[in-house]
Chains A and B, each alone.
Chain A
Amino acid sequence: MNRSTRIKEKSPVLDALIWLVMLLVLLACIVPFLYIIAMSFSSSRAILNNRVSLWPVGFNTEAYRQVFAYPNFFRAYRNTLFYTGFGTLIALTMMVIFAYPLSKSRLKGQPIVMKMVVFSMFFGGGLVPNYLLLTSLRLTGTVFAMLLPFAINQFNLIILINFIKTIPDELEEAARIDGLNYFGILVRIILPLLTAAIATVGLYTAVFFWNDWFYSLIYLKSDQYPVMLLLRNIVNGTTMVGEAGGVGENASVAIAIKSAVIITSTLPIILLYPFLQKYFVKGMLVGAVKG
């Protein structure tokens, strides 16, 4: 029996083992999520008395009502959608425009620009210099403080560069013979072939903008804050144990509300994954194998 025949043979035991492992992985991912959903719809009393497992007990939507009733909740959500949508759009545009020339190693100066990209990936300017830079550019307190500084992410840029490198040069040569200029080649030839990479990098970028709270905190004003900052405050704002002589504000945020916050903040971005999955795996493997 040669090797290829052995591989083709089905082993029911192996199949069962694979199924079992995959089922365990699935459960490990889904059970905590179901538990959080169940808690978000349960009464506080049921939660605190350990009566909630994977199904709501004392079903109610009070936690969601309270989360949605937080002052400025919807404005913060709108801000997040804005930063995620426009931030991703700007980032993808800038990175594609930057990645295309950088994929051409024959271009004069390409190696040094590439080295600068890699260098800045490992060595940042630091919090205070960045803050001063953005302030001197009059960006702090404007939405552009979120949209522009994060337009190019070096890691994502390298993914795009490697992807473009895999596109045969002959395609571009043919396009040039047919009369397309470089910009036309990028838009009409390269871009349609970049779908997988754009989906991957787009998802990375969207997740970054969706999850960010720190840069929003330091660069933006409170009416520009994204929902993540608001939700972080709700989750963190459980107890303040003061040292001064006054009455502390010690009331806690109920666990049901925390659960509702987790669901509210993660669900939209989780819903994006199934639509991008088919591109995502391909995009992740770009540049992983040489040749």
Chain B
Amino acid sequence: MRKTLSLLLAVALLLGLGAYAVAEQPLAISLYYSDNATLPFQQDWPVIVALEKQYNVKLNFEPIPMADYGTKAGLALSTGENTPDVMLYLTTGGAYSSYALNGAIVPISDYAEWTPHFNARVEEMGLQQDVDLNRLSDGKLYFLPSLFDKPFYDGGLILREDYLKAKGFDAPKTFDDLYNIMKAYKEDNPGSYPLTSIVGLRVVQRMTMPSFGVSVGRNTGTGTGTLSWDYDKKEYFAGAISPQYKDYITFMAKLHAEGLLDPELEQDNASTAKKLATGAAMAVYGYYDQIGGWEQASEIEGLKLNMYPPLVGPGGAHHQPKSKTGGGLLFPIAVSKRPDFEQVVRKLDEIFYSEDATKLWCFGPEGDSYKMDGDKVIYNDAILGSADGIYKYMQNAYGTGCAGLQNVWYLDRELTKYDENYARINAEVAAMPDAIQYTVPVPSFDDITAEDASLMQTTLLDAFNVWDDEFRTGKKSIETDWDAFVKDMTDKGIEKFLEIYNANKKL
């Protein structure tokens, strides 16, 4: 009897230990991550190491080159094969809405009780309406978006501040001011084209058009191509053929005709940097964190660049519209077949949206990358002394602030990684009424309407792009050919296109 009891006790003890050992096993989760070559992914980034330890999880990242991320993710979702547990940095825009409505993606809003941290962040930031705009036509949300408490003014008009000072110009407030500055620069440097851009003309357009009251599809988020959003009436209008666009293209054509606008705007960053460094250009629509590189590259003594708030145009002073939600966590349907599906969702919610985790993604591990002095964040000496700047250095060395990994963004926290100048500019922009307007959500079309809208959008946009180029470069006259342009767009169905969008708008 005693032997039997001893045996039973030993078995019970072993089972207990076994259960304990099982409970201690980290939860393994596979993730697709869009890998940016400027900050190549490292599995041993301190942030990831700390997260795995803190939350007892094994994150098996599959870093996929950013340029090909859509191809890989789309193929996995469309075939339903080889999908990871979660795909990061995705929305349900474009083809993904089709995957979602056809059952390839988990409707994560059905499991809202499993995402308490996400729900808490949404409520705390007051983003419920913004999040709801991501719901598809069946009323469900198919991904957990990244969240932004305030839109950042991270890019805009960047100008040669040293030139302004040397010539006695004030900081430009209006497009006329900008014109006058560039005109003077052109006279001083006849071989230059004062205004250039990063990547292409579309960056200039999307950062400047809103001040003229249009966007005309240059903000890809609108998805319309040739329509614009009326923020007062909360409806679409035919932006491409509107008087606002006519004002805008007239201004751009003037810049082009007078040699103030770079005729070679489709370019890589090295070309932009070359132009700014050599004085071939003095203004650019680009991003604040590029300024340092451009200044360092230049051999012009005293060259100093600075970023300025949006300029006032006929439609007010507005930067490109931005959304307070972005790409986030998308769950392929296969993960719902895991027996521990609930645990996986809860864990991901915790490691991407809990208060502690959001601090970790933003600042790195406390005591390593930074320490707190009261309410103030003090970064370590290596970070503060880095030539790359705090933000970039922390991205590469710690894995903080990487789009796709960090899913909760607080402007105040991010500003601790920039200089005072950047904080000042952001504060100035934040004080301007509606300087950064919201991005209009793409309407929830059914499959047939989506197909019709897509065909019309392509036809209209192709035609518009040709007209836009010809108007700007002077091949067509805005005065004499405008009516023909309007007729062409009307013949191609812009009114019908407008009707479809307004009939299905979300706001």
Residues of A that sit less than 8 Å from B by CB: 44-45, 47-50, 70-71, 127-128, 131-132, 135, 140-141, 217-218, 221-222, 229-230, 232-255, 258
Contact = CB atoms under 8 A, between A and B. Distances in A.
B297 A237 contact: no
Given A48-B277, A71-B41, A246 B198 contact: no
Interface residues of B, number: 68
B159 interface: no
B75 A237 contact: no
A83 to B, nearest CB: 17
A218 B66 CA distance: 14
Given A47-B270, A128-B78, A239 B199 contact: yes
A71 B436 CA distance: 37
A251 B75 contact: no
Given A135-B79, A246-B403, A71 B42 contact: yes
Contacts of B79: 128, 131-132, 135
Nearest to A223: B62
9 contacts: A47-B270, A49-B274, A49-B298, A241-B203, A245-B150, A246-B154, A248-B154, A250-B290, A252-B268
B347 to A, nearest CB: 22
Nearest to B395: A249
B324 A135 contact: no
Given A71-B41, A251-B290, A246 B72 contact: no
Nearest to A252: B269
Residue among A140, A233, A253 with the highest chain B CB neighbour number at 10 A? A233
A255 B268 CA distance: 9
Interface string B413-426: 01000000000000
A245 B148 contact: yes
A252 B293 contact: yes
Interface of B: 35-42, 62-68, 71-72, 75, 78-79, 81-82, 146, 148, 150-152, 154-155, 198-199, 203, 219-221, 268-270, 273-274, 277-278, 286-287, 289-290, 293, 296-299, 320, 322-327, 391-392, 395, 401-403, 409, 414, 436, 439
B401 A251 contact: no
A250 B322 contact: no
**When A and B form their complex, which 7 residue pairs have the shortest distance between CB atoms, in order from nearest?**
A237-B37, A244-B326, A252-B269, A233-B65, A245-B151, A245-B148, A250-B287
A237 B66 contact: yes
B72 A218 contact: yes
B468 to A, nearest CB: 19
A239 B63 CA distance: 18
A71 B38 CA distance: 12
Contact of B38 (A128, A135, A251, A255): A251
Contact of A70 (B40, B290, B325): B40
Contact of A251 (B66, B148, B392): B392
A96 B101 CA distance: 49
Contacts of A70: 40
B289 A241 contact: no
